Amino acid sequence: MGKELEKTYNPQGLEDRIYKKWEDNKFFSAKVDRSRKPFTIVMPPPNITGQLHMGHALDNTLQDILIRYKRMQGYNALWQPGTDHASIATEVKIIEALKEEGIDKEELGREKFLERAWEWKKEYGGRIINQLKKIGSSADWDRERFTMDKGCSKAVEEVFVKLYEKGLIYKGSRIINWCPICQTSISDAEVEHEEQAGHFWHIKYPVAGTDEFVEIATTRPETMLGDTAVAVHPEDERYQHLIGKMVVLPILNKEIPVVADTYVDKEFGTGVVKITPAHDPNDFEVGKRHNLPEINVMNDDATINAKGGKFEGMDRYDARKAIIKELDELGLLVKVEDHTHNVGTHDRCNTTVEPLVKQQWFVKMDELIKPAVEAVKTGDIQLLPERMDKSYFNWTDNIRDWCISRQLWWGHRIPAYYCEQCGEVVVAKEADKPSVCPKCGNEHMTQDEDTLDTWFSSALWPFSTLGWPEKTEDLDYFYPTNVLVTGYDILFFWVIRMVFSGFEHMGKKPFDTVLFHGLIRDSQGRKMSKSLGNGIDPLEIIEQYGADALRLTLVTGNAPGNDMRFYYERVEASRNFANKIWNASRFIMMNLQDKELEEPELFHLKTEDRWILSQLNQLIQDVTENMEKFELGIAVQKVYDFIWEEFCDWYIEIAKFRLYKREYNEDSADIALWTLKKVLIESLKLLHPFMPFISEEIFCTLQNEEESIMISQWPQYKEDWNFSLASESVELVKEAVRAIRNVRAEMNVPPSRKAKVYLVLQDTVTCEVLENMKQSYQSLMLASKIRIQSTKEGISQDAVSLVIPNAVIYMPMEDLIDFEKEMERLTKEEERLTKELNRVNGMLSNEKFMNKAPEAKIQEEREKLAKYESMMAEIKERLAQLKK
């Protein structure tokens, strides 16, 4: 006998061995081949600080399913991998490590700090890649890229200079989101809005030179130190007389103007709004319209600066308390209302961000975004699920200029140089950086200290990884890519930015389709987080159950864009499925024993062979269609149900008769074996994208023709494998078997007791088919004999009848029951119930018991009485039937 599967399925050693085989044989490799059609996916680059979590596991499992499927379909499939430098996250980690050594970042200096950062990347950068390999990711690792490698850095420089020269990148003072902890600006997309309980403080601002006051309401009293006006609606009759006048800013006692602006909502609050242009994005716009000064009253660490007067040096929240206290003492605090409102926090450190006016670099978005909007509107780029369109357009319709500068050292340094003498700004690539000022000739040129937003480089990922800005063959062949798989939570950070970047720099969309998946939540539906301590390590699941079981769990029931809950019970079920396939495969291989089986002519196939091939054929068509529609959860469920139920629970059981009775008909046994092997191989191919390891091990053990299942051909639908009569006949047998098993269970008939089974049906053709195959299903029906006929002739009156679609089943009662033993058993049961009924009736008619017993006890006895009466009625009815 040839190769065999181990007796028990043990994924631990098996998976590492198989993955090494795939890598050693370069099965993941994709090279330009004009004779084949490309299919490309770019991997969302995980952070080099990253530890594999369930989100990564899901994201990469879905990508791997698609790339394996397309590879088997014959596409030249490239899954382009890489990692992201993650400026904020990595810098925080390095600073923490330095602190433990007692080293201050500023004292260390930029150059030495960056040396440490690259050491960090070298040590930790490959960790998550190795973890991705553990789940079976079949990316072309020889092509692995890093957002700060030479090629990607060159692309970043190219884009910055190009956009600057087109006037689409500029430096200016605008409101940005500032993180006081990370000490850097962040983009709108990096701000998470969460509901927080707060207050509305109502404050009186005196109208200068009068006894009148206006009342404003604010959630951030500390920002009043930077107020430069109050605003009213131009059509608000209550305040018409105040427009153009001055009010006195409390505590600072300086006069500021009353301006009229339609930004004010007349119906909300008091209809008077304080305007702080340096600390609120809407106020900033009002300030621009009315030429108001911008007074920033905060330092970078969110303490009050010198412009805040006596509150200088205080933390923003301490200053808030002190200001409220003083306003109250001055009689200017009208009231305090509880108010729940959305507060912006930095998604990295959860600190409340501070809107501040600062000099930063921005990308001008109004023109850049237009092709990205049009592409989704016309369907040139498809978002799945379709409801993501609404979120996409909500973002694009309200897009602001993108703040791209970060006050960090780790990242792509902004290629802008300043003349120390005259202030001239020169933007140039590294190779062209100026040594002298082109304006005044000064030799002291200083590069901008800031780095670029991490997302600036990852926005170029679909083409920078393929060699852009060079005109490479890879870029020409593999771009645009086909599918982007990502979580819906980075639609704004990354997806939209890649779309407009692709159109701007390549003149083409970056991908055809974006498949959004949801979040993995814990069994209670909570988001997994460090603070809740409910995170689940995918590597621990793999260690215990295997990568295939984890992958099957993650994709089963998964629908685009929907969150899913993680249950350990589902991983157990996935592992049980792997065991089922393993054991079924071992059974088939033990019967094959290296037999050389030729494909039989279709007319030689038995009914059950035709049925299973027909079922397989339909499965191939359905699963292929589901895969094309990205309905991966539906596809895998169909494969699972077919293998477990149709193949293992039905066909293998039906085929056993022919295998065990080989001496009567060797040809029939060989045809059954050929069918078993054929269906198993095709089923494994359909399963392979979802469970790559176990499908590879069984496939390569089962046959010697092909080196790996991952480079075998995806199963094809065959018109001549549609056997409708065979399908209808076997489905009738299945219905009959289920009905017989159910009634036997209800009647407590032991499996050892066989009964004659009469199948009565009108269709003569089906009668003939069932007659020819009845030996195959006789044992499944626990039948001593099977008669197939078109009338009730010869069937006893007392036979149990079961109605199923297109047939009626009869089983003689005497075959199912030993009448004397059954009469004896029922008589004993009648006697027992009589005693119980006498006891209960006695208690319930006992006045003493009824008066003293707790109500719950009385109710319990009443329930017993009803139950015993019902059981007695059934016993009597059964005895009466038997006596007849």
3-class DSSP state for residue 791? coil
The predicted pLDDT at position 191 comes to 74
CATH code where residue 733 lies = 3.30.2320
Residue 3, in any domain of the structure: no
Residue 667, in any domain of the structure: yes
The predicted pLDDT at position 530 comes to 67
Q: Rounded to an integer, what distance in angstroms lies between the CA atom of residue 226 and that of residue 222? A: 8
Q: Rounded to an integer, what distance in angstroms lies between the CA atom of residue 703 and that of residue 699? A: 6
Instruction: State whether 741 and 836 are in the same domain.
Output: no
3-class DSSP state for residue 74? coil
Closest CA to 369 of 502, 264, 552, 565: 502
Q: Can you read off the two tokens belonging to residue 277?
A: 């242009």
> Which of 19-33, 346-360, 432-446, 739-753 comes out lowest in average pLDDT?
346-360
Residues 6+ apart with CB under 8 A from 243: 232, 234, 258, 259, 260
Q: Rounded to an integer, what distance in angstroms lies between the CA atom of residue 22 and that of residue 14? A: 13
Q: Which of 817, 835, 853 is the last residue of a domain?
A: 817
The whole domain housing 559 covers 548-706
φ and ψ of 655, to 5 deg:
-70, -20
- Residue 480, preceding peptide bond in cis (omega within 30° of 0): yes
Average pLDDT for 457-466:
97
Instruction: State whether 829 and 871 are in the same domain.
Output: yes
Residue 110, in any domain of the structure: no
The predicted pLDDT at position 117 comes to 93
Q: How confident is the model at residue 173 (pLDDT cuts 50, 70, 90)?
A: confident
The segment with the largest mean pLDDT, out of 234-238, 398-402, 665-669, is 234-238
Give kind and range of the element (H or E) at residue 151: helix 150-165
Asked whether residue 100 carries a pLDDT value surpassing 50, the answer given is: yes
Q: How confident is the model at residue 469 (pLDDT cuts 50, 70, 90)?
A: very high
> Which of 235-244, 588-597, 658-667, 704-713 comes out lowest in average pLDDT?
658-667
Instruction: State whether 805 and 874 are in the same domain.
Output: no
- Amino acid residing at 606: K
The predicted pLDDT at position 235 comes to 92
Instruction: State whether 681 and 748 are in the same domain.
Output: no
The predicted pLDDT at position 53 comes to 85
Q: Rounded to an integer, what distance in angstroms lies between the CA atom of residue 136 and that of residue 555? A: 14
Instruction: State whether 702 and 749 are in the same domain.
Output: no
CB-based contact 735:804 (threshold 8 Å): yes
Average pLDDT for 646-669:
89
CATH code where residue 839 lies = 1.10.287
CA dihedral 85, 86, 91, 93 (to 10 degrees): -100
pTM: 0.84
Average pLDDT for 604-612:
94
Residue 402, in any domain of the structure: no
- Quote the Cα angle for 689-695-700, to 5°: 125
Asked whether residue 2 carries a pLDDT value surpassing 60, the answer given is: no
Average pLDDT for 626-647:
97
Average pLDDT for 375-404:
93
Residue 35, in any domain of the structure: no
The predicted pLDDT at position 663 comes to 66
Instruction: State whether 198 and 291 are in the same domain.
Output: yes
pLDDT in tens, 390-403: 999 998 998 889 98
Instruction: Please give the tally of structural domains in the chain.
Output: 5
Instruction: State whether 695 and 746 are in the same domain.
Output: no
pLDDT in tens, 794-805: 888 878 888 888
Residue 494, in any domain of the structure: no
Average pLDDT for 847-860:
91
Asked whether residue 594 carries a pLDDT value surpassing 90, the answer given is: no
Asked whether residue 589 carries a pLDDT value surpassing 70, the answer given is: yes
Residue 255, in any domain of the structure: yes
Q: How many residues does the chain have?
A: 884
Asked whether residue 610 carries a pLDDT value surpassing 90, the answer given is: yes
Closest CA to 336 of 213, 212, 218: 218
Instruction: State whether 660 and 762 are in the same domain.
Output: no
Q: How confident is the model at residue 596 (pLDDT cuts 50, 70, 90)?
A: confident
Asked whether residue 22 carries a pLDDT value surpassing 50, the answer given is: yes
Closest CA to 403 of 177, 163, 155, 166: 177
The predicted pLDDT at position 1 comes to 40
Q: How confident is the model at residue 221 (pLDDT cuts 50, 70, 90)?
A: very high
Q: How many CB atoms lie within 10 A of CB 203?
A: 23
Residue 125, in any domain of the structure: no
The predicted pLDDT at position 152 comes to 96
3-state secondary structure string across 710-776: HHCCCCCCCHHHCCHHHHHHHHHHHHHHHHHHHHHHHCCCCCCCCEEEEEECCCHHHHHHHHHHHHH
Instruction: State whether 214 and 319 are in the same domain.
Output: yes
pLDDT in tens, 289-309: 999 999 999 998 999 999 999
Asked whether residue 193 carries a pLDDT value surpassing 80, the answer given is: no
Is there a binding annotation on residue 134? Answer: no
The predicted pLDDT at position 774 comes to 87
The bridge status of strand 254-260 relative to strand 229-232 is parallel
Q: How confident is the model at residue 542 (pLDDT cuts 50, 70, 90)?
A: very high
Which residue matches tokens 């303490």? 303
Instruction: State whether 694 and 754 are in the same domain.
Output: no
Asked whether residue 161 carries a pLDDT value surpassing 70, the answer given is: yes
Instruction: State whether 807 and 833 are in the same domain.
Output: no
Dihedral sign for Cα atoms in the order 267, 271, 274, 278: positive
pLDDT in tens, 36-78: 999 999 999 998 887 788 888 999 999 999 999 999 999 999 9
Q: Rounded to an integer, what distance in angstroms lies between the CA atom of residue 285 and that of residue 272? A: 17
CATH code where residue 564 lies = 1.10.730.10
- Give me the chain's average pLDDT, please: 91
The predicted pLDDT at position 189 comes to 66
Asked whether residue 162 carries a pLDDT value surpassing 90, the answer given is: yes
CATH code where residue 228 lies = 3.90.740.10
Instruction: State whether 860 and 777 are in the same domain.
Output: no
